[in-house]
Amino acid sequence: MEISRLSSWFKTYGWRHLVGIIFVIISLYPILFVITNSFADFPNLANSKLIPDGFTLKHYESLSASPLIPYFKWLFNTYKIASIAGFLNVLLGTFAAFAFARLQFKGRRVGLISLVLIQMFPAFLAFVAIYLLFFQIGDVAPFMGLGTHIGLIMVYLGGSIGFNSWLIKGFMDTIPISLDEAAKVDGASYSQIFFRIVAPLARPILVVLFVITFIGIYSDYILAAIFLKDTNLYTVALGINIVFMDDFSNDWGSIAAASVIAATPIAVLFIFFQKQITGGLTAGSIKG
C-alpha cells in the first residue's frame, strides 16, 4: 500500500521535484566552482576542482595590489556607465511611452510600427556603422567619440529605448484614462499628468526596466570592446576578457575572484527586486 502511494505521488508530483533538483544542481555547480576556486590555493587552472585542498585570499589581494590591472577602476567605470545609461534609457523610454499611450499626433501609428521593425534586426548588424559614425563624431566632438564613456552611453541609449518604450506603453495602457481626464478638468497640463499621475503609477515597470537594462549594460562586452581602447577606461567585462585572458591558465584564480566581485552586486540586486521584476513584466499584459 505504501509503495502504491509512493508511486502515485511520484507520478503526480515527485518527478517535478526531481527535475527541479537536477536543474538546480546543474545551475549551482558552475557558480560554486568559481566561488571556491576564487579562494583556492593552487597555481593554475589544471589544478582546480570544486573543493580545493587549501584556501587563501591571495587572488583577491592581487586585484588591488597589481598596478598593471586597475580592477576597481574598471568596476567604478562599469557602475558609472550602467547607472547613467540605465537611468536615461528608462527616462527617455517613459517619455516616448507616454506620448504613444496618451497623446494623439500625426505619425503615431507609423512611429510605433517603426519601433517594432527596428527591434527585428540584431544589434550587431549596426556595429560597423556605429564605429564609423562615432569615429567621425570624434573629429568634431572628441569628448563623445570613440574611446569615451559618453559615446558608449549614447550607443546604449539608442539600443534599448524602442524595446523599453513598448513595455512601458503596455503598462501605461492599463492605467485608466479617466484619471487623465479628471486631472484636465482640474486644469492640469500634460506634464503635470505625466509627473504626478502616470509616472508614479507606472513605477513597477520602470524599476523592472532599470534593473534589466543595468544588468545588460553591466555585463556587455562587444560594444565596450569596440569603443574603449584605454585600459583605464575599461569596464569589468572588457578588462577580464582582454587582460586576464592573455594568461588564462595561470590567472584562473584571479579571474574567479574578479568574477565573484563583479557578479555579487548583480545577484543581490536581482534577488532584492525579484518580486518587482516578476510582477512588473506581467502587470501590463492585461488591459484593465
What is the per-residue pLDDT across 236-267, written as a single tens digit (0 to 9) for each?
Answer: 988 888 777 665 556 778 888 888 998 888 88
The domains of the chain are located at: 2-60, 68-283
Question: In whole angstroms, what is the distance from residue 119 CA to residue 82 CA?
Answer: 21
pLDDT band, residue 84 (cuts 50/70/90): very high
- pLDDT tens per residue across span 20-61: 899 988 988 888 888 888 888 775 666 677 777 778 888 888
Provide the pLDDT for residue 94: 92
pLDDT band, residue 287 (cuts 50/70/90): very low
Q: Are 225 and 131 in contact (CB under 8 A)?
A: no
Provide the pLDDT for residue 279: 66
Helix/strand/coil percent split, the chain, to 5: 80, 0, 20
Could you tell me the three cell numbers for 258?
574578479
Provide the pLDDT for residue 46: 67
Question: In whole angstroms, what is the distance from residue 151 CA to residue 157 CA?
Answer: 10
Could you tell me the three cell numbers for 56?
587563501
Provide the pLDDT for residue 75: 92
- What is the phi-psi region of residue 187: left when phi exceeds 0, alpha when psi lies from -120 to 50, beta otherwise? left
**Range of weakest confidence among 62-66, 140-144, 253-257:** 62-66
Provide the pLDDT for residue 240: 83
Q: Is 225 helix (H, G, I), strand (E, B) or coil?
A: helix
Mean per-residue pLDDT for 165-182? Answer: 86
Mean per-residue pLDDT for 151-170? Answer: 84
Residue with cell 576597481: 72
Mean per-residue pLDDT for 134-155? Answer: 88
Question: In whole angstroms, what is the distance from residue 270 CA to residue 203 CA?
Answer: 17
Task: Give Cβ neighbours of residue 279 (< 8 Å, ≥ 6 apart).
Answer: 204
The DSSP element (H or E) to which 89 belongs, if any, is helix 71-102
Question: In whole angstroms, what is the distance from residue 213 CA to residue 165 CA?
Answer: 13
Q: What percentage of the chain exceeds 90 in pLDDT?
A: 11
**Cα-based angle 260, 263, 266 (whole degrees, multiple of 5):** 150
Task: Give Cβ neighbours of residue 173 (< 8 Å, ≥ 6 apart).
Answer: 101, 284, 287
* Of the ranges 52-61, 126-135, 230-239, the best mean pLDDT one: 230-239
CATH 3.30.365.10 at 68-283, yes or no: no
